[in-house]
Chains A and B, each alone.
Chain A
Amino acid sequence: MAVTEQLIETLTEKLQPVQPLRKPGRRAALWSAFATLVVAVIGAGWGSRAELAHAVTEAGFFVPLIGSWLTGVTAATAAFHVSLPDRSRRWLWLPLAPVLLWGSGFAYTCFVNWDDLPGSLALLPESACLMTILAVSAGLTVVLLPMLRRVRTLRPGLTAWLGCLAVAGFADTAHLLVHTEQDSLLALTVNLVPAVVLVVFGGLAGRRAV
């Protein structure tokens, strides 16, 4: 007990003021606004407006686009909430509906276009757009990571996993805006595979980072 008293003395002796964290919802909104801006700039800079105007009228493009963006926003919100000790783990389920929306859009595209495999294969060399996903992911992670690290969370695994899901969602939104032509193999390999890899491996590696 004497040691505990000594510890309290030590902790209080050189106490420094700290700035309480902003509300998690506000922090999530801040990051999501930044991510949306990055996605919009990339879409405007590298995407084709004519193709985009045509593509948004198709459900196979529009549904994954909205789903991926909503996944990014909700996963970021969940990550910022879950990172705090007194917030429920049930925030984990917040991105579930957007993820289903995101995935179902690709499932629809695959289902409709699966018979056109040669066409899909022809599109694959354009998979340089993987670079779009990597670049956007890297840029968003650079901003998100310090924001999550500042919490010094007691739930690093869950926080990292949700953070990676948020990054994956926004990265795919950017990719969809740049590459409006979606096909079966392309939808699977270029959209879903990087997202799954980012979420699984990023979540595992991010556990130590956050």
Chain B
Amino acid sequence: MEFRAEGGSVPPVSDRPKTETSQPTRSPEEDWSLLMAQAQQGDGASYRRLLQSLTPYLRALAHRFGLGGADLEDAVQDVLLTVHSIRHTYDPTRPFAPWLTAVARHRLLDRLRRRVRQTGRETELTEAHETFAAVETNHPELAGEAARLQAAIATLPEGQRRAVEMLKLKEMSLKEAAQATGQSETALKVSVHRAIKRLRGVLGGN
């Protein structure tokens, strides 16, 4: 009992391996079945020729599946990798083209399904998705309060400014800040305390 192989699309005549009934357009060495059989025995040169001769056919097939550009080339590479990883499943007594076409169709359909799933989940952002049209809302550092605070910090004496930046803005620990500045932890605490008191005065807080 034998079912016919599936995979309706077979390589175009120019890419088909030579058979007894087809025109002898290729030398026997270029027969895909023969090259694959030699590749299964570890013949790297035959394998290179096989993969190189498969590539144009795979590109044409991927194009027929609606792929283009980098996606098309990725798909071709994906099929080549699959061919490589399951080359032991090819039976040298059977024609190569249906095997290759079936492998390629599996991989290309997988890719298309993945693409449909991804595009189904993704929503392109438009201006309407921004919180407000004003530039400042999407760039908090430009907002008024933050700008005033940064200006006020810039007016602090060097020691206090560094202490605020390290302990409050960069959220370093007292130990880390002490190591970085060479000051004692107590001195840093005092500097931060004085800096905050001064900032409250400048910014008009309580």
Contacts and interface: CB of A to CB of B under 8 A. Distances in A.
B146 interface: no
B94 A4 contact: no
Contacts, number: 93
A128 interface: no
Contacts of A11: 47, 51, 80-81, 84
Contacts of B45: 12
Contacts of B107: 154
B138 to A, nearest CB: 37
A18 B80 contact: no
B98 A86 contact: yes
A4 B102 contact: no
A139 interface: no
Nearest to A151: B89
B30 to A, nearest CB: 16
Contacts of B7: 86
A142 interface: no
B186 interface: no
Given A1-B73, A7-B80, A84 B89 contact: yes
A122 interface: no
Interface in B94-121: 94, 98-99, 101-103, 106-107
Contacts of B90: 20
Given A8-B80, A11-B84, A85 B55 contact: no
**In the complex, which range does the number of interface residues on chain A fall in?**
20 to 34
A161 B51 CA distance: 33
Interface stretch (B16-24, B35-43, B129-137, B151-159): B35-43
A3 B73 contact: yes
A131 interface: no
A112 to B, nearest CB: 34
B51 A18 contact: no
Interface string A85-127: 1111111001000000000000000000000000000000000
Interface string A65-99: 00000000000000001001111111100100000
B80 A85 contact: no
B88 to A, nearest CB: 4
Given A20-B40, A85-B99, A152 B85 contact: yes
B46 to A, nearest CB: 9
A85 B103 contact: yes
B142 to A, nearest CB: 42
Given A11-B84, A19-B88, A86 B5 contact: yes
A21 interface: yes
Contacts of A12: 44-45, 47-48, 51
Among B3, B4, B76, B94, which residue has the most Cβ atoms of chain A within 10 A? B3
Nearest to B45: A12
A9 B51 CA distance: 10
Interface string A20-61: 110100000000000000000000000000000000000000
A23 B4 CA distance: 15
Given A7-B81, A12-B44, A152 B89 contact: yes
In order of increasing CB-CB distance, the 7 nearest A-B pairs are: A17-B42, A88-B3, A86-B99, A18-B88, A85-B102, A12-B48, A154-B106
21 contacts: A3-B73, A7-B77, A8-B51, A8-B52, A8-B80, A11-B51, A11-B84, A15-B39, A18-B88, A19-B40, A20-B88, A20-B92, A23-B91, A86-B101, A88-B5, A90-B3, A94-B1, A152-B89, A154-B86, A154-B103, A154-B107
